[in-house]
Chains A and B, each alone.
Chain A
Amino acid sequence: MRFQLNFRRMAWVSLALLAVAPPQARAADEWPTRDITFYVPYAPGGSTDPISRKYSELLEKQLKVKVIVENKPGASATIGTGAVIRAQPDGYTIGLGSTSSLAYQPLEMKGLVWKSASDYQSIVKLSDLPAILAVPADARWKTFEEFVAEAKEKPRKLKVSVSGLRSANDINIQQLNKLSGARIVTVPFTGGGGESTLAALGGRVDGTCGYAPGMKGQIDAGKLRVLAVFQQGKYDLIPDAKPIGETPWKETFPVGYYVIAPNGLPKPVLDKLMAASKTIVESDEFKSFLKANGYTWDPKLGDDMKKELEAYDGKFRAILKFLDDDK
């Protein structure tokens, strides 16, 4: 009988609670009360994992709950990205997105749950990672201009290794081809940029387009010479590299890293997450982490980030059309 009594009392208590405040709103106001999961749609190792862990570490300090980083790689990062977008919009599942997974893959892959930046909640842009063009130290080109001049003069003769067909590196070279009229041949390699760098060191290709963090060791040792960096301004990590923004062929495709959440976050949750993210990206600790690792600081919150991704959609469509026509 005691059991029954207790049960009745519990029912009354919960009814009373319901009357005071609807549970959902309460949960949103108190967010976060438990661990948050941060999906990284890439495997550990590479440029995506460290930046995710740094953001999560700083978010932990801001929100005072644990932020668990979970790697969910596969299918060009679309598996992990889809997992975030399809998650319950309660603020306990967020994740990393990139220009490739958010803007490029929807153009190439059918059946993704996101077609545009309206299909997920933009939180914050963490950084850009620019591509660089490097040649072996004993190559005859001393400057970027010399390289492009020869590529124009002898179309489809100069070869540049890239990490994968239609990777951001490849797209940068193709964009240069499109704007400058040069015809540099891209040779796609796999294996996370390592084999692509190796091909340049072994003299199998004339140059390589990749990311500075993986090539820095060879650059410092004088085995590779950096001709250009595919971004608008000076690159802190390699100040000698010519920014493409200072050439006549300005448009570039850096890899941007973003934090996303599913659409429909309750307003208090979204506000709190945005405020915490703003503090993080503007903190000195985050900035010096970016600088040391070759990322470029370019914070954009919420709608600014959404606008950037929408613009990428158009840019990707244009370069894909050029590649189709140029076959």
Chain B
Amino acid sequence: MNSLQGLLYGLSIAATPSNLLAAFVGAFAGTAIGVLPGLGPVAGVALILPLTFSLDPTAGLIMMAGIFYGSMYGGSTTAILLNIPGESASVVTAIDGYQLAKKGRAGATLTIVAVGSFVGGTLAVIGVMMFSSLLAKVAILFGPAEFFALTAGGLIVMSRISGGTLASALLPMTLGLMLGTIGQEAVTGETRFTFGLPDLAEGVSLVPVVVGLYGFAELMLLVEDRAHAANRPESVKMRDLLPTRTEWKRAVPSWLRGTFLGFLFGLVPGPAATLASFASYRLEKAASKHGSEIGSGAIEGVAGPEAANNSAATASLVPLLALGIPFTPIAALMISAMLVQGIQPGPLLITQHPEIFWGLIASAYIGNVMLLALNIPMVGVWVSLLRIPHYLFIPLLLVLSVIGTYSVRNSIFDVWVLLAAGIVGYAFNKMKFQLAPLVVGLILGPNIEKHFREALFLSQGDPWIYVESPIAVGVWLLVAAILIAGFIARRRAAFADAMAQESSL
């Protein structure tokens, strides 16, 4: 069966009424879950997992995939409107998205995001469909040393992700790295800095930190801001919901860059969607014509990362379907769903269960179209949420954030973390520190350490392992090139500034 025949076969499966319903329910529930702060894709899929046991395997997986994509779509909504990322992959979306919303471009930005997610998701499905078996080998090329290069190099490159001074980024990043060391060390299970609290043994989880740092802090700032409370947006005009011609034009290259980058990230283990969105943001800063505007409300800073995280989410189906090896918690849940149904994911899946493979691929196309159709009309609804009076809106969001955070792993401890992170986020905001580097540190720190240790276990203590493979060396060279290019660009800018000042004198 070639790809086209496979796709047609898949469409014949995905387009049955029950599977269409599964895709719709998944996409709809996913969007709702993504919009709720704290509840992200993992929680959403975990909630639905028991339900899928009673469905037939294809419908169950289609529904899970729908939730997955849907929550990736939905997570950015609150990030843009309220500066509260619904899940960790939307953290960078909040930076420029919220600035754009403040300028009255919320509707346009949401439209750009919905279309960008569609572009990223759809192009990635094409990639998965065409090259799945070929790309599965990419994952095998990556071992601990290569991942160490990727994650540690990534940390260095992303240290200046959200602009500002170097100090305002490094301190939060260090704090993030420190928080990442709390709990059980990944390889040996040795507990560190837990002060005997069993809750800390799992470490500080990402969701309460992200929702607290951004969401809680933002709510506190909103309470403070009496001027804004009196001066709400009156009504939303249709014209403001649609992007202008320039905005469309600026978004297209960013979508394509984000899609490509996200696809690559999806192929290798790790928190692909989150990392892809961060990396794409960094790439936009360097590659876009309007790179200097990023951070103060540029459409590229939203378009790139959103295309990237959807593309990565879709591409992460490759290792799942072709290797049967889960790289993300969601993939693990999907494999669990398959195993319960007696289906063995792996290299033979495509021949033994073509209905699953092609049905899932085809439903990804359908799901993306569905999400676009679902989200574009919703833009107006979301934007009008901003008109709810603050005395109703703030308590409501507060309650939703707490519920969302609690339900991820039924832990009241996480609610305390949420509160603490909120206070830290508020203080950092006041002191003009950047928040994104803290999140980067918390995500990458444990990964860097894990790969660092695994590599040393593998080489039995020989440090040369880090630079023995061509891939690892290649990654390090790339990191060096990015740093040098950034340095030169800054020197040039400083020089040009000095010249300009001189000539104006």
Contacts and interface: CB of A to CB of B under 8 A. Distances in A.
User: Do A and B interact with each other, yes or no?
Assistant: yes
Interface of A: 43-46, 49-50, 53, 69-76, 78-79, 82, 111, 156, 159, 164-166, 185, 187-192, 194-195, 197-199, 201-202, 204-205, 213-214, 216-218, 220-221, 223, 292-293
A202 B346 contact: no
Interface stretch (B68-76, B97-105, B136-144, B240-248): B136-144
A41 to B, nearest CB: 11
B410 A220 contact: no
Contact of B325 (A72, A73, A74, A197): A197
Contacts of B457: 187-188
A187 B326 contact: no
11 contacts: A44-B49, A44-B333, A45-B326, A69-B50, A76-B201, A159-B458, A195-B454, A198-B325, A202-B141, A218-B347, A223-B347
A259 to B, nearest CB: 18
B329 A45 contact: yes
A218 B339 contact: no
Contact of B342 (A111, A201, A202, A292): A292
Given A74-B411, A220-B348, 10 more contacts: A44-B49, A50-B336, A53-B340, A71-B410, A165-B189, A194-B332, A198-B325, A216-B324, A292-B342, A293-B342
Given A165-B189, A189-B454, A198-B140, A79 B199 contact: yes
Interface of B: 46, 49-50, 53, 139-144, 184, 186-189, 191, 196, 198-199, 201-202, 269, 323-327, 329, 332-333, 335-336, 339-340, 342, 344-349, 409-411, 450, 454, 457-458, 460
Nearest to A189: B454
A82 B187 CA distance: 23
Most chain A CB within 10 A, of B141, B340, B342, B411, is at B340
Given A73-B202, A218-B346, A45 B332 contact: yes
Nearest to B352: A220
Contacts, number: 138
Contacts of B460: 156, 185
A74 B339 contact: no
Contacts of A293: 339-340, 342
Contacts of B332: 45-46, 192, 194
The 8 closest A-B pairs by CB, nearest first: A217-B346, A217-B324, A75-B201, A45-B332, A221-B347, A74-B202, A194-B325, A202-B140
A50 B269 CA distance: 24
A131 to B, nearest CB: 17
Contact of A216 (B140, B144, B344): B344
Contacts of A73: 202, 409
Contacts of B141: 202
Please indicate which of the listed interface residues A197, A202, A292 has the most CB atoms of chain B within 10 Å of its own CB: A202
Contact of A217 (B191, B340, B344): B344
B187 A164 contact: yes
